[in-house]
């Protein structure tokens, strides 16, 4: 078995068929599709079984609702492929995506491909994982679904059950087990923008989980990565007033432009605590109901 495609399913009646069809229409033969019905209370369990009856590539696992991480983990446990990839059931894949990825991955452990309107990538191979992390700003696209992974990377890695932003926890663990990663301009993952999704609606408590994942991932941090985390830290402190976990750092302001340059200058001049207080004060007056 070459590729295991893991698709968690929960309350996606409107998009499930589109997702599965996009996967089945790929120009590959040696693959399996594992549909994880995560206790969906609608018609999705029946739809999954109907798809499995129609196409021998498809297997279905029905389990009580445990969330996205639990569903993906069930798929990992059942996967038989040399490689693993994930697709969320409200998203879909462009035609002719998986074939070139499997052809190009070679001896690499991970290949990452573009996300429509979110992420474009150059054709490049990295044997230095730290360089990949900083050069591509991978900390901003730790998405699980736009990558194909060698299955052996998951030997002792699973997604954290009960946490949001689970990708930010898991991807660095996989990178630390990888010898090389390829980025490619081939293929495309279509992410369904959900205004009610976790990313769009995350409160301070959920954002603190995201910050915690970054603070303990063991990956290198440059000034651009620090500024990325500073934005999260300001939101967490504004909404929760929890003690700050991001350490003080003086940034090289000449590498930034526009608002980021101003923010870096303000950080160097005022310090992180004062900057967070000013940020909260500005939001209070601009949006008092926030």
DSSP letter string, 98-135:
HHHHHHH-TT-SEEE--BTTTB---SEEES-HHHHHHH
Q: What is the mean pLDDT of residues 143-170?
A: 97
Distance CA 204, CA 218 (A): 23
pLDDT band at 5 (very low <50, low <70, confident <90, very high): very high
Q: Cα–Cα distance between 234 and 115 in angstroms, integer? A: 27
Q: Is 142 helix (H, G, I), strand (E, B) or coil?
A: coil
pLDDT at residue 1, rounded to an integer: 86
Residues in the chain: 290
Handedness of CA 259, 261, 266, 272 (dihedral sign): positive
pLDDT at 216: 95
Closest CA to 60 of 33, 23, 35, 77: 35
pLDDT of amino acid 272: 95
Spatial distance between the Cα atoms of 134 and 141, rounded to a whole number of angstroms: 11
Reported confidence tier of residue 281, pLDDT bands at 50, 70, 90: confident
Average pLDDT, the chain: 94
pLDDT at 279: 87
pLDDT at 267 over 70: yes
Alpha carbons 55 and 7: distance in angstroms, whole number:
15
Q: 40 pLDDT exceeds 90?
A: yes
pLDDT tens readout for residues 45-89: 999 999 999 999 999 999 999 999 999 999 999 999 999 999 999
pLDDT attached to residue 134: 98
User: What is the predicted pLDDT for the residue at 203?
Assistant: 87
- Assess whether pLDDT exceeds 60 at residue 121: yes
> What whole-number distance in Å separates Cα of residue 225 and Cα of residue 222?
5
Q: How large a percentage of the chain has pLDDT more than 70?
A: 95
- CA pseudo-torsion sign 14, 16, 21, 27: positive
Mean pLDDT to the nearest integer, 193-208: 71
pLDDT at residue 78, as a whole number: 98
User: How many CB atoms within 10 Å of residue 289?
Assistant: 4
In the chain, where do the E strands start and end? 3-9, 31-38, 58-63, 83-86, 92-93, 110-112, 124-126, 147-150, 181-183, 189-190
Q: How many CA atoms lie within 13 A of 55 on its CB side?
A: 19
Closest CA to 199 of 166, 223, 157: 166
pLDDT at residue 34, rounded to an integer: 98
pLDDT classification of 195: cutoffs 50, 70, 90: low
> Which letter does DSSP use for residue 173 in this model?
H
pLDDT digits (tens, 9 = 90+) for 88-109: 999 999 999 999 999 999 999 9
Q: What is the pLDDT of residue 200?
A: 53
- Tokens representing residue 107 in the block: 């001896």
pLDDT-based confidence at residue 280 (cuts at 50, 70, 90)? confident
CA–CA separation, 199 vs 91, rounded Å? 15
The pLDDT of residue 17 = 98
Tokens of 271: 């310090």
Backbone CA torsion sign across 126, 232, 221, 163: negative
> 13-22, 86-95, 185-194 — which is least confidently predicted?
185-194
Residue 194 is predicted with a pLDDT of 64
Among 250, 205, 200, which residue's Cα sits nearest to residue 227? 250
pLDDT at residue 241 in the model: 87
pLDDT category of residue 289 using cuts at 50, 70 and 90: low
Quick one: CA torsion of 85, 43, 159, 186, rounded to 10 degrees? 20
Lowest-pLDDT choice from 10-24, 199-213, 231-245: 199-213
**CA–CA distance, 217 with 288 (Å, rounded to integer):** 35
């Amino acid at each position: 078995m070459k590729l295991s495609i893991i698709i968690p399913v929960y309350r996606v009646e409107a998009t499930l068929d589109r997702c599965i069809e996009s996967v089945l229409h790929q120009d590959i033969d040696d693959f399996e599709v594992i549909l994880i019905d995560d206790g969906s209370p609608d018609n999705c369990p029946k739809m999954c079984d109907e798809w499995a009856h129609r196409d021998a590539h498809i297997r279905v696992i029905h389990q009580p609702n445990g969330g996205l991480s639990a569903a993906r983990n069930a798929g990992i446990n059942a996967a038989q492929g040399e490689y693993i990839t994930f697709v969320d059931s409200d998203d879909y894949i462009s035609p002719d995506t998986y074939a070139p990825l499997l052809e190009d991955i070679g001896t690499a452990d991970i290949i990452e491909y573009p996300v429509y309107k979110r992420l474009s990538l150059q054709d490049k191979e990295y044997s230095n994982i730290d360089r990949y992390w900083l050069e591509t700003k991978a900390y901003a696209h730790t998405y699980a679904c736009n990558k194909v992974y060698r299955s052996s990377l998951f030997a002792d890695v699973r997604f954290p059950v009960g946490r949001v932003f689970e990708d930010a926890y898991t991807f660095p663990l996989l990178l630390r087990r990888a010898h090389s990663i390829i980025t490619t301009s081939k293929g495309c993952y279509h992410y369904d923008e959900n205004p009610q999704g976790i990313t769009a609606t995350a409160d301070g408590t959920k954002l603190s989980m995201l910050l915690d994942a970054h603070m303990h991932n063991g990956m290198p941090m440059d000034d651009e990565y620090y500024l990325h985390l500073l934005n999260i830290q300001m939101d967490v402190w504004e909404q929760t007033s929890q003690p700050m976990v991001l350490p003080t750092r003086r940034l090289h302001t000449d590498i930034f432009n526009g608002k980021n340059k101003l923010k870096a200058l303000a950080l160097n001049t005022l310090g992180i605590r004062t900057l967070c207080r000013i940020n909260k004060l500005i939001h209070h007056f601009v949006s008092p109901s926030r």
